[in-house]
Chains A and B, each alone.
Chain A
Amino acid sequence: MPAQSPAGPVALWRTRSGRAAAFADRCPHRGMRLSHGFVRGETLSCIYHGWSYAQAGNCLRIPAHPALTPPDTIRVATQHVEDGGGIIWISVGEPAAPPPRFEGLAPLRSMVVEAGIVALEAAAGTRAAGGLLDYTHDDRAVRLLLAPEGQARTLMHVLADEDSNPGERIAASRAAESLRRVAEDIARGGIAR
């Protein structure tokens, strides 16, 4: 699936055996976005010409030349991926520390907000700390993990209490929708001013 990183768009994928990988979202052959590709076994293939890449980014197969072993120089840039607690983390370059763990929380959904973190903070009435924003809506606390995508867009991951029941989780999802509406209104107002 497509995702964003500070180093540009990435194609995020998981091998059949369950290992996650993040590639620059561009096939080096003809520039097609790899996030449109397909996963067979341990490889990701480009939808355009079927060039297949291993998790390390090296090209394994060029279907137009089935007898050819692709040279090692054909490769896609990869980024470091950590897969923990239901959240996939990407780091550009070697990470200094492992990603944080959120004890007692389960990831519920990810949503794109057309607003920056400042507008989200204003909408929630609290400040984000360590990328986490606590939001209380109708006496219900929701915890949001924020990943900025530029100044005016934020990828917001909704975290719910690990022990919450389906009704509470649905309520948390709806609370996040409300927060997004308010934050986007604030962001639009900010542009109008």
Chain B
Amino acid sequence: MTRDTMIDGWYPVSLASQLDAHGRSTALMGEPIEVRRGEDGNAKVTGGNGRALPACIRYGHVWSSLGDPQKPLFAIPEADQPGRRLVDVGVVRVRCSPLRAVENFLDIAHFPFVHTDILGAEPHTEVQNYKVEIREDEDEVWATQVRFYQPQAAKSAEGGITTEYMYRVPAPTCSILYKTCPPRPGEWDVITLFVQPLAEDLCDVWPWMALFDDETPMTDLIHFQQTIFVQDRSILENQIPRLLPLDPGMEIPTRADLTSVAYRRWLKRHGYTYGAQLVAQ
């Protein structure tokens, strides 16, 4: 498995709020790294052989790369909108491919079975048609006009509503979800999944949110999102094979899986295959 084309990407390696001089030992794509706050207050990241790695702080997290990033970190313009509450959900480790973690985040059909009575409930299991495209200018995967019936779409939601979603994949291990915002019609809540690839079959997942919600206590917002993600975790650790199969014969998508189909096609096109399996084994 090659990791070359993904090596120049940016990956989350720590919460910015937990950055200290003592540092955090972690890993990126199999290489041990150290993340700490330098004397100038900036994030310092060092690789396995002591070499300095690129570092930046954005969207509540420290980002780094093993290679030489050709582009700045992707933009989330909504994150800078005044009035949003930024929620550090915290890390959860999962024994799965980083790409499987992202693909699960793009999936809505599992809501009634895995997030029962929160994000979905039988008999409201149907996935209506939605639009999927690979936007060539931005080089991102987008799914729009995604609608799903949800018993409790957000911490601030009271009762069941049909929620509208947009999904965006700006980098192979990061996804951004835009979701109907009950207190502010016309605006979108931003919920992200930032995945740190530790190995091809092991990742640290850092969910993060930028919400319009002045009512709900911060801890409740954190617990809501941790609940959702940990419900997914036992699925992710029991998918076979552990790596994401890019061989079309290996798994059977339906119309509901068009986002995942586009995501896999986009990964393949760019050679983003760290955590993927190209041929059936």
Interface residues of A (CB under 8 A from B): 25-26, 28-33, 36, 47-50, 62-66, 68, 74
Contact = CB atoms under 8 A, between A and B. Distances in A.
Contacts of A65: 126-127, 254-256
Nearest to A38: B113
Nearest to A36: B238
B1 interface: no
Contacts of B235: 32, 47-48
Contacts of B252: 28-29, 74
A31 B256 contact: no
A68 B252 CA distance: 15
17 contacts: A26-B240, A29-B251, A31-B251, A32-B235, A36-B238, A48-B114, A63-B112, A63-B113, A63-B122, A63-B126, A64-B109, A64-B125, A64-B126, A64-B255, A65-B127, A65-B255, A74-B252
Nearest to B113: A50
B114 A64 contact: no
Given A64-B256, A65-B126, A47 B240 contact: no
B110 interface: yes
A68 B127 CA distance: 12
A65 B252 CA distance: 14
Contacts of B114: 47-48
Given A62-B254, A65-B254, A48 B110 contact: yes
Contact of B113 (A31, A48, A74): A48
A49 B239 CA distance: 13
A32 B238 CA distance: 6
Interface in B100-156: 109-110, 112-114, 122, 125-127
Which 6 residue pairs of A and B lie closest in terms of their CB atoms, listed nearest first?
A: A63-B125, A64-B256, A64-B109, A64-B127, A31-B239, A33-B238
A49 B113 contact: yes
Contact of B110 (A26, A28, A49): A49
A28 to B, nearest CB: 5
B113 A47 contact: yes
A125 B145 CA distance: 69
